[in-house]
Chains A and B, each alone.
Chain A
Amino acid sequence: MATGTIGAFEQSLTDVGVELTRATPATFSETLASVVDEPAVGTPLGFDGVSLKDTPVTTELTPRDLTEAQTGVTPIGRAIAQYGTLVVESNAAGNEPVSLYPPTHVGVVRESDVIEDVTEAMPKLAEQFSDGGSVVFATGASATGDMGALVKGVHGPKTVRVVLVEGL
């Protein structure tokens, strides 16, 4: 990961209307709290050094939580700088519904997981697929032009935010 890649990622996120907030492991809980609207649901991040403990995000999920939450917080497997794409990895904890149902999705990205382009993402995807894994490339908010003008927030989130954890 070169600094150029992070710069490109930031630019791409701006292009697709996603706000990026930087955090360090030390400031993570506070930063995350500042970008979630409550009630918030989440899935365990699985990253050493940061977690959803001490944040307003609940990780015990019911269908009602999913539909009532204002924000869903998930870890992001990798992020693709060229397009501002967040790679959401489906798992039993519910990354897929948590990133999809609430009107705001906050993706937590480790700096070292930002890769340059789609080509770089492919070898790991191939492995994930052969292990039965599923992933979503999510870029920006859900959108439609079908009602005669571009509208954000259709079946998926209207707002997407990224918390970039530096030093991880």
Chain B
Amino acid sequence: MSLEERRAKARHIRHLLETEGRAIRENTTVFNEDRYEVSESFDGYEGLRSRARRIKEDAIDRLPELIDRLRESVEANGGELYVADDAADANRYIEAVVDGEDADTVVKSKSMTTEELDVNDHLEAAGVDVWETDLGEFVLQVADESPSHLVGPSLHRSQEDVARLFNERFDPDEPFETAEELTAFARDYLGARIRSADVGMTGANFVLADSGTITLVTNEGNARKTAVTPNTHIAVAGVEKVIPSADELQPFIELIAKAATGQPISQYVTMLTPPVDSPTIDFSRPTEPLGSGDDDRAFHLVLVDNGRMAMRDDDHLEETLYCIRCGACANSCANFQHVGGHAFGGETYTGGIATGWEAGVHGQDSAATFNDFCTGCSRCADACPVKIDIPWINTVVRDRINHESDGAAFDFLVEGLTPDAEPGGLDVQKRLFGNFGTLARVGSATAPLSNRLAELGAVRSAMERFFGVDARRDLPTFERETFADWFDARESPDNDGREVVVYPDAYTNYVLVNRGKAAVRVLEALGAQVELATPQESGRAPLSQGMIRTATRRASAVSADLTTYIDDGFDVVVIEPSDLAAFRREYGKLLDEETHERLAGNSYDVMEYVYGLLNTGADAGVLAEPSEPLAYHSHCQQRTIGVETYTEAVLTDLGFDLLTSDVECCGMAGSFGYKSEYYELSMDVGSDLEAQFADATDRTLVASGTSCTEQLGDLFERDVVHPVELIAPE
């Protein structure tokens, strides 16, 4: 990306933060909080997720066979099934059906797949009136906008916004003000169109192969009316929506609303086996009995391929097809909560999973426009009801985008100097951040000169110009004496407790050296025999830039080093949560299964390990006494692997007064907050964390992750410590 492109992107983001940010944040945060509440209070939620996942894996695996079965069922019921190769094919078929009915008006209920097809434009060009009956979609239709969210297409608009829009467009006698007035108007306006429509078009959330039943999940009731009021019903769905039978439906019925909006169940889960038994309703003959018209009901199910069958054959994109379009990945995403789907989205789809959908159905270029908004914080992986590894899909697509770009201006400078495994053409900014380990080593070896140099105005503006490193950010200060230097120069005590190897990640070794020293002191005070592994970067940095080959190389080196210790009976202790998360999660994609399992199974967060020692007889009395009250922000990836609870437990058990944050991410997210095009978004996300600790002026700021430490430092201009530093004996 050039300087100009970065500036343009920053301007676009600033505009969205100002115009849409507030409504998006309010709406997505409520959905997200309600999701936590309802999923925690529902017994068996995790079991449902696992079952749903297995059902989708199996269904996608057997898809061709299920489609054949579905065709038999739909036809036996008296309907038609059409499998459309692509959007043009689907539109052609739909137009032919509409034409065959001599239809002037089509009413629709909400369907992202029809957005993907642009079927409204297509039908309107053929002279047909098309009306969106979902109120959110109707707002978009009036505003001529695209959806900003999978579930709440217009949630970027506030009530005042909608009122302004409707007052301008419909010019009512009394201007609309309240949500009730707007809803009543839209209901009556659309109700009239539903009553006179010739064709009703819906999506389908789930399609049952065995019976030809389609399931529609809605709150407004418009899908029900759309499906049963006109005599002709067209349902449009991606091929991936097919599951075998009613036996597989239950987990989805129970999961989808909980994940999407935090409701226990949606108002209407409509399960239709069309053509339906309900009597025909002919509003043009208002006094004739229901069902007395001579027209029969007709049903067309249009299953859309449009790239999906190819996704099925793509080892990394295939998982996207398990998606039930609940939007939880967007709601749980700190960046999305602030900037919304008009930035964090492609031609049709929005949020984290949009990278998979856009790459699959519209092509990689569409995904490339927003893929960088995924910082890999991984909160969505926990939120997804079908357990899709959304960050991994983003990483893979980023890697593919890297490999197809066509050469940047400074390649000759960077290539050859950097020890990565990526080809030419990689964006220089990505290459810089992806090679943090090397930078840190050089920076430390030449400290303090490197630090002074990096603070020079001319250097900072050059860094901003060439690499897009925002000059408003403080850069990390490299320590001349590394954590490993310190460790080598000291005498270890004569302990006979457990054998522990501490992994000196690049930040702890070169920048946040004190937390490394504190970790060693704590472990030794609790009786452990401590050794230090080889200091080397874990691969997290290149992975965050989509440099999978480089990351794989790092992962192999780190695991080769650490597994020799594991062979000798050592436990591995990790200080930086993003690296522990890499060992447990992403290494599974980079290493062979056995190596990954051994490393993941024998590695611990430092506070998790301390918790273990304290609960198996170690004497807490040797640790530092609790002092000042604390404000603690755990790391996003740490929460995804579920280990932040140990830090909280240890500190609370030792008697610390602890205030914890509950934002999804601090906004820094590795290199994200350093990038000049994203700096303002990063600070906007950080403002949520700032608000949570605004009253905590008397509390010491505590963070487990490096990024959070940097972000809290920038937000509060105060020192931030790692939890282990608080409990380390002098």
Q: Are B135 and A144 in contact (CB under 8 A)?
A: yes
* Stretch of B243-251, B618-626, B667-675 with 4 or more beta carbons under 8 angstroms from chain A: B243-251
**Chain B residues whose CB sits within 8 angstroms of the CB of A150 once the complex forms:** 179
User: Which residue of the partner chain A has the closest CB to B261?
Assistant: A145
Q: Point out the residue from A85, A118, A138, A147 that lies within 8 Å of B182, measured CB to CB.
A: A147
- Give the dominant DSSP class at A's interface: loop
Whether A130 contacts B211 in the complex (CB less than 8 A), given A96-B278, A147-B159, comes out as yes
Q: Bound state CA distance, A119 and B43, in angstroms?
A: 14
Q: Are B265 and A137 in contact (CB under 8 A)?
A: yes
Q: Are A129 and B278 in contact (CB under 8 A)?
A: no
* Stretch of A28-36, A47-55, A62-70, A107-115 with 4 or more beta carbons under 8 angstroms from chain B: A62-70
**Chain A residues whose CB sits within 8 angstroms of the CB of B709 once the complex forms:** none
Q: Are B134 and A91 in contact (CB under 8 A)?
A: no
Q: Are B225 and A155 in contact (CB under 8 A)?
A: yes
Q: Bound state CA distance, A61 and B247, in angstroms?
A: 36
Q: Point out the residue from B139, B182, B222 that lies within 8 Å of A155, measured CB to CB.
A: B222
Q: Are B276 and A134 in contact (CB under 8 A)?
A: yes
Interface string of A80-96 (1 = CB under 8 A from B): 00010100001111111
Q: Are A136 and B269 in contact (CB under 8 A)?
A: yes
| Interface flag for B186 (CB, 8 Å) | yes
Q: Are A125 and B191 in contact (CB under 8 A)?
A: no
| Interface flag for B200 (CB, 8 Å) | no
Cβ of B201 to closest chain A Cβ, rounded Å: 15
Q: Are B267 and A143 in contact (CB under 8 A)?
A: yes
Q: Are B249 and A156 in contact (CB under 8 A)?
A: no
Cβ of B353 to closest chain A Cβ, rounded Å: 22
| Interface flag for B327 (CB, 8 Å) | no
| Interface flag for A46 (CB, 8 Å) | no
Cβ of A53 to closest chain B Cβ, rounded Å: 19
* Stretch of B279-287, B478-486, B720-728 with 4 or more beta carbons under 8 angstroms from chain A: B279-287
Interface string of B1-17 (1 = CB under 8 A from A): 00000000000000000
Cβ of B240 to closest chain A Cβ, rounded Å: 20
| Interface flag for A154 (CB, 8 Å) | yes
Count chain A residues whose beta carbon lies closer than 8 angstroms to a beta carbon of B: 51
| Interface flag for B180 (CB, 8 Å) | yes
Q: Point out the residue from B77, B133, B254, B277 that lies within 8 Å of A118, measured CB to CB.
A: B254
Cβ of A8 to closest chain B Cβ, rounded Å: 13
Q: Are B220 and A154 in contact (CB under 8 A)?
A: yes
| Interface flag for A159 (CB, 8 Å) | no
Interface string of B221-235 (1 = CB under 8 A from A): 110110011000000
Q: Point out the residue from A61, A100, A126, A157 that lies within 8 Å of B289, measured CB to CB.
A: A61
Q: Are A134 and B265 in contact (CB under 8 A)?
A: no
| Interface flag for B158 (CB, 8 Å) | yes
Q: Are B246 and A136 in contact (CB under 8 A)?
A: no
Q: Point out the residue from A85, A101, A145, A151 that lies within 8 Å of B265, measured CB to CB.
A: A85
How many A-B Cβ pairs are below 8 Å?
A: 194
User: Which residue of the partner chain B has the closest CB to A95?
Assistant: B278
**Chain B residues whose CB sits within 8 angstroms of the CB of A63 once the complex forms:** 195, 281-283, 285-288, 290
Q: Are B186 and A147 in contact (CB under 8 A)?
A: yes
| Interface flag for B97 (CB, 8 Å) | no
Q: Are B253 and A137 in contact (CB under 8 A)?
A: yes
Q: Bound state CA distance, A147 and B182, in angstroms?
A: 7
Q: Are B271 and A144 in contact (CB under 8 A)?
A: no
**Chain A residues whose CB sits within 8 angstroms of the CB of B158 once the complex forms:** 148
**Chain A residues whose CB sits within 8 angstroms of the CB of B265 once the complex forms:** 83, 85, 137, 139
| Interface flag for B699 (CB, 8 Å) | no
Cβ of B314 to closest chain A Cβ, rounded Å: 33
Q: Bound state CA distance, A42 and B278, in angstroms?
A: 14
**Chain B residues whose CB sits within 8 angstroms of the CB of A44 once the complex forms:** none
Interface size class of B (residues with CB under 8 A): 35 or more
**Chain A residues whose CB sits within 8 angstroms of the CB of B286 once the complex forms:** 62-64, 67
Q: Are B152 and A145 in contact (CB under 8 A)?
A: yes
Interface string of A129-167 (1 = CB under 8 A from B): 110111111111111111111110111110000000000
Q: Bound state CA distance, A101 and B225, in angstroms?
A: 8
Q: Point out the residue from A92, A135, A143, A146 that lies within 8 Å of B279, measured CB to CB.
A: A92
Q: Are A156 and B268 in contact (CB under 8 A)?
A: yes
Q: Are A140 and B246 in contact (CB under 8 A)?
A: no
Q: Are A155 and B191 in contact (CB under 8 A)?
A: yes
| Interface flag for A26 (CB, 8 Å) | no
Q: Bound state CA distance, A140 and B224, in angstroms?
A: 15
Q: Point out the residue from A94, A125, A137 that lies within 8 Å of B290, measured CB to CB.
A: A94
Q: Bound state CA distance, A129 and B253, in angstroms?
A: 16
| Interface flag for A97 (CB, 8 Å) | yes
**Chain B residues whose CB sits within 8 angstroms of the CB of A135 once the complex forms:** 271
| Interface flag for B183 (CB, 8 Å) | yes
User: Which residue of the partner chain A has the closest CB to B158?
Assistant: A148
- The interface centre, meaning the residue of B228, B277, B285, B288 with most chain A CB atoms within 10 A of its CB, is B277
**Chain A residues whose CB sits within 8 angstroms of the CB of B180 once the complex forms:** 151
Interface residues of B in 151-196 (CB under 8 A from A): 152, 154-155, 157-162, 178-180, 182-183, 186-187, 190-191, 194-195
Q: Are A62 and B160 in contact (CB under 8 A)?
A: no
Cβ of A163 to closest chain B Cβ, rounded Å: 20
Q: Are A136 and B279 in contact (CB under 8 A)?
A: no
Q: Are B273 and A132 in contact (CB under 8 A)?
A: yes
Whether A130 contacts B277 in the complex (CB less than 8 A), given A64-B286, A97-B290, A156-B221, comes out as no
Cβ of B52 to closest chain A Cβ, rounded Å: 13
Q: Point out the residue from A62, A130, A148, A157 that lies within 8 Å of B157, measured CB to CB.
A: A148
- The interface centre, meaning the residue of A63, A92, A97 with most chain B CB atoms within 10 A of its CB, is A63
| Interface flag for B270 (CB, 8 Å) | yes
Q: Are B152 and A134 in contact (CB under 8 A)?
A: no
Cβ of A49 to closest chain B Cβ, rounded Å: 25
| Interface flag for A122 (CB, 8 Å) | yes
Whether A146 contacts B152 in the complex (CB less than 8 A), given A100-B221, A156-B224, comes out as yes
Q: Bound state CA distance, A83 and B253, in angstroms?
A: 12
| Interface flag for B219 (CB, 8 Å) | yes
Q: Are B289 and A62 in contact (CB under 8 A)?
A: yes
Q: Are B187 and A148 in contact (CB under 8 A)?
A: no
**Chain A residues whose CB sits within 8 angstroms of the CB of B434 once the complex forms:** none
Cβ of B132 to closest chain A Cβ, rounded Å: 11
Interface residues of B in 336-355 (CB under 8 A from A): none
Q: Are A66 and B281 in contact (CB under 8 A)?
A: yes
User: Which residue of the partner chain A has the closest CB to B221?
Assistant: A156
Q: Are A118 and B250 in contact (CB under 8 A)?
A: yes
| Interface flag for B264 (CB, 8 Å) | yes
Q: Bound state CA distance, A92 and B134, in angstroms?
A: 26
Q: Are B208 and A129 in contact (CB under 8 A)?
A: yes
| Interface flag for B588 (CB, 8 Å) | no
On A, residues with C-beta under 8 Å from B are 60-64, 66-67, 83, 85, 90-97, 100-101, 118-119, 122, 125-126, 129-130, 132-151, 153-157
7 residue pairs from A and B, CB less than 8 Å apart = A67-B283, A97-B290, A134-B270, A137-B270, A141-B267, A146-B220, A153-B183
Pairs A-B, 8 closest by C-beta atoms: A148-B159, A156-B221, A126-B246, A129-B211, A146-B135, A149-B179, A146-B136, A64-B286
Contacts A97-B281, A122-B249, A154-B219 given; 8 further ones with Cβ under 8 A? A63-B290, A133-B273, A134-B270, A137-B268, A140-B267, A147-B182, A154-B220, A155-B190
